[in-house]
Amino acid sequence: MNATTKLAVTFVVMAMVGCAMGPSKEETAAKASAMLKTSFKANGQAGLDRLDQDETQRVCSALDGNAPSKEVAERIEKLNLATIKDPADGKFLGDWKNGEKIAQEGRGKQFSDDPAGPVGANCYACHQLAPQELSYGTIGPSLYQFAKLRGYGVDTQRYAYGKIYNPDAYAACSNMPRFGHNGILTEQQIKDVTALLMDPASPVNK
Amino acid sequence: MDAERMDRGRRAVLKQGGGATLLALVAAAGWLRPEVAGAQAQAQAWNKAAFDTHNMAETMQALGGGEPAQSKDIVFFQTPDIAENGAVVPIGITSNIPKTESIAILVEKNPNMLAAVFDIPAGTEPSVTTRIKMGQSSNIYALVKADGKYYVAAKDVKVTLGGCGG
Amino acid sequence: MADPMKIRANVTGDTTEVKVLMSHEMETGQRKDAQGKTIPAWFIQSVTATWNGNTVLAAQWGPAVSKNPFLSFKFKGGAKGDKVLITWVDNRGDKRTDEATIA
Amino acid sequence: MRTFVAPGMGTLLGAALLATALGGAAVAPALLAQSSAVDEIAKYRAALQDGNPAELWEARGEGIWKQKRGPKQASLEQCDLGLGPGVVKGAYAQLPRNFADADRVMDLETRLLWCMATLQGFSDADSRKQLFGNGNERKSDMEAIVAYVTSESRGVPMNVGLANPKAAEMYRIGERIFYFRGGPHDFGCVTCHGDDAKRIRLQDLPNLTTKEGAQKAYTTWPAYRVSQGELRSFQWRLYDCFRQQRFPELVFGSDASIALTMFLARNANGAPFDAPAIKR
């Protein structure tokens, strides 16, 4: 992140505050950040460094849940697109059966989780995938028939892999975790989940 | 619809219980006598054998008795088709059979089938509400003893788990 | 020492409705603690309700009754001011009796 | 059968589930299955309302409130929850608020810690020994007292004021914390609670950015959680949300917890308080 873009972000934030009385939103955000630091304690794998926001988190937090402007979105997406590393062997698809397990697994990265224990993507918390699973969430869109509707080609595979790796590369300030960029899932796990979406044999595409 | 559901429940019972059928369940209602007074006497009367059974056949053997008749006069109320959490499943059972003496709750797929037995003395309405644990989706049986005879009805209850992270 | 029950008894016409909440773990004996040790079973085995010395309900429970049990039933009779007594005994031999005044 | 299931329209299992509910009736539309499941879960929740074990906590909490405890052998009956010493009725509906004696904005739990220290002489370490029940015999006195005090505001409209500058600032900071995204998953409160009609798995998520959503959610905490067999305070609610957000551990009674509570409580203004509730 260079100084120019930081200034640009500051400008955007200030512009949104407008001529409101009292402290600016940015000042309040700074107070909130400082308060958070004194209000949490490190526990197991969850250290206080988790409260240090990167540029994407900071910009997205200032949006109050609204969509970013076109300019901000483009910048955030560019920033995040640059982080995506394609699989070393060039193959985007792993084992969809493993992918299904990862999609069901809700544990991982919580201070209450065993650091050596499973880390999942918990896809079903937010998305419909395989139709056999009735208990799915709706924070994200339904991914049922993901490839059946979009095609099974390598470009779609690359997109699916990249979207799991870093969704902010395609939709700035997405609600979805950046599973690859933030080291939540391994490359193999991302390939497995990609296969759950893309493999013609996956229940998702039935 | 109820009849069909019960019929399916009955088939499941028969399949598990084999030739012994529901004989034993029947006695479930018989173990408790209203005149048993005093908590200590009751504690001693607790039917360990019946509560320790792990499938229908064992439960039957532990209890002994005659085969109960399917009854449409046993009604589940406040009992959901789907329980959000198996730790607490509300169960309400009313018997419209005259001279009901006791009501028992059994959960087919629980490790121990028998959950509870309620003796209904004369003057008490043959209707109880409580909450039970269910390890998984299962049939629930309401077993009623009335005028020395035994009756049963079944209801299928699905258990969902959910939430994030865990 | 177990916490008191919460008992409500209300008469409407000639019928008294009793609702009881009991404070009890109702441990099944099938769960394991963090160290992998089985947590011993601990549950209410019997419940008796009396009104004017008459038993109005008697129950035997297994560990499949939910934690902090709830029980509701109705009996004929009962007048405002009468006492309803509920007693439970668990598998450790702990016992608790509480009473409510019919309202 | 699968060919009848369109994307986003429920599931095979859903259809099977409905078919079961109908006693083996013919295949029904999957969409209907989903709504049927949701309706049935609504019935389940309704059935739980009849007897709420939270009452056991309320009774125990009232006992603890009135009991002489601590080095000073005093009860909490003279604790000032904002409406004057000893006034419990309706106090929770106006919290958090600024307390001049402490020169700090406090929520109920923080104020209770204050009263335990000042009235009863408990050390901070002693009063923090069991802030949350652990799901078995080790029950929390704090959660019991919270159950009692909040039950005394049942039916009272939420009325959290921001006239005090400190209170107003806490509200603004709480709002920023609500939108603060961080941790390995980029989660913030807003991730799950910023839109209408969303679910995690089958659990409905209140939209806390709307008045209706904030009112419905805030006025139904504390709650007896049937999945845990425990009564849970609002401090616990925030603690466990942040745990699942993959944040570090929220300190009980910390300023951030109070700021966020202030934001949510104030947004619930006008709605009658209706807790302790009972939830899955």
* DSSP-derived secondary structure for chain A: --HHHHHHHHHHHHHHHTT-SSS-HHHHHHHHHHHHHHHEE-BTTB-GGGGS--HHHHHHHTTTTSPPPHHHHHHHHHHHHTT----TTS-----HHHHHHHHH---SSSTTS-TTS-----GGGT---STT------SS---TTHHHHH-SSHHHHHHHHHHHH-GGGTSTT-SS--TTTTTSS-HHHHHHHHHHHH-TTSGGG-
D192 is catalytic: no
For residue B111, list chain C residues with Cβ-Cβ distance below 8 A.
Answer: 28, 30
Partners of residue A184 in chain D, C-beta under 8 Å: 184-185
Q: Do A116 and D250 contact (CB within 8 A), yes or no?
A: no
Across the interface, whether the CB atoms of C72 and D56 are under 8 A apart is answered no
Mean predicted lDDT score pLDDT of chain D: 88
Nearest-CA distance from B97 to chain A in Å?
38
Per-residue pLDDT of D143-174, as tens digits, reads 999 999 999 999 999 999 999 999 999 999 99
Rounded to whole angstroms, the Cα distance separating B55 from B12 reads 12
Residues of chain C with pLDDT below 50 are: none
Residue D34's pLDDT is what?
59
Q: Give the whole-angstrom CA distance, residue D140 versus residue D131.
A: 6
In the predicted model, what is the mean pLDDT of residues D15-30?
A: 35
Greater confidence (A170 vs D204) lies with: A170
What mean pLDDT is predicted for residues D87-116?
98
Measured in angstroms, the CA of B57 and the nearest CA of chain C are apart by 18
Which tokens belong to A187?
């490359």
Query: Per-residue confidence at D134, pLDDT binned at 50, 70, 90?
Result: confident
- What's the confidence (pLDDT) of residue B166? 34
Cα dist from B81 to B1, B72, B154, D188, D204, whole Å = 14, 18, 12, 35, 19
Chain A contacts to B (CB-CB under 8 A): 106-107, 110, 122, 125, 134-135
Mean local confidence (pLDDT), D109-130: 96
| Angular region, C3: left φ>0, alpha ψ -120 to 50, beta rest | beta
Class in CATH terms, D54-279: mainly alpha
Q: Of B141 and D22, which is predicted with more confidence? A: B141
Q: What is the C-alpha separation between B94 and B125, in angstroms, rounded?
A: 8
Q: Are strands A40-41 and B74-77 parallel, antiparallel or unpaired?
A: unpaired
From 2.60.40.10, 1.25.40.420, 2.60.40.290, 1.10.10.1590, which CATH number describes the C6-101 domain? 2.60.40.10
Q: What is the pLDDT of residues B112-134, one digit of tens each?
A: 999 999 999 999 999 999 999 99
Please state the rounded mean pLDDT for residues A103-114: 96
pLDDT at B25: 40
User: Two tokens at D206?
Assistant: 């209140």
D47 touches chain B (CB under 8 A): yes
Share of chain D above pLDDT 90, in %: 77
Phi, psi of D250 (to 5 degrees): -70, 130
Which pLDDT band holds residue D35 (cuts at 50, 70, 90)?
Answer: low
Residues 6+ apart with CB under 8 A from C71: B128, B129, B130, C18, C19, C20, C22, C47, C59
**In this predicted model, what pLDDT tens digit does every residue of B8-31 receive, in sequence order?**
333 333 333 333 334 334 334 444
pLDDT tens-digit map of A8-34: 444 444 444 444 467 899 999 999 999
- Closest C-alpha to B159, from B112, B108, B117, B116: B108
- Asked whether residue D17 carries a pLDDT value surpassing 60, the answer given is no
Q: Is D260 exposed, middle or buried (0-12, 13-18, 19+ CB in 10 A)?
A: buried
Whole-number pLDDT of residue D280: 83
CA distance B72 to chain A (A): 31
- Kindly state the helix (H) or strand (E) to which residue B90 belongs, with its residue range: strand B89-95
Q: What is the pLDDT along chain B (166 residues), one digit of tens a residue?
A: 333 333 333 333 333 333 333 433 433 444 443 333 444 444 447 888 889 888 766 766 666 666 788 999 999 999 999 998 899 999 999 999 999 999 999 999 998 999 999 999 999 999 999 999 999 899 999 999 899 888 999 999 998 764 333 3
Average pLDDT, chain A: 92
User: C60–B43: do the CB atoms touch at under 8 Å?
Assistant: no
**Gyration radius of chain A's alpha carbons:** 19
Is C57 in contact with B124 (Cβ distance < 8 A)?
yes
Q: Measure CA B14 to chain center.
A: 15
Write the residue in C6, C27, C39 that is nearest to D56 by C-beta. Answer: C6
Residues of C in contact with D60 (CB under 8 A): 3, 23
Q: ipTM score here?
A: 0.83
- pLDDT-based confidence at residue D33 (cuts at 50, 70, 90): low
The structure tokens 């008796």 sit at C48
Residue B163 Cα, gap to closest chain A Cα (Å): 7
Cβ contact D147:D58 at 8 Å: yes
- Whole-number pLDDT of residue C46: 97
Q: Which amino acid is at B60?
A: M
Name the active-site residue from D115, D189, D192, D241: D241
Question: Which of 3.40.50.1370, 3.90.76.10, 1.10.760.10, 1.20.1250.20 would CATH assign to domain A40-206?
Answer: 1.10.760.10
CB contact under 8 A, B166 and A106: yes
Hey, are the CB atoms on D50 and C3 less than 8 Å from each other? no
Contacts of C72 in chain B (CB under 8 A): 128-130
- Stretch D108-116: mean pLDDT: 98
Residue ranges per structural domain of chain D: 9-48, 54-279
Residues of B within 8 A of A106 (CB-CB) are 163-166
Q: Given a cut of 80, is residue D38 above it in pLDDT?
A: no
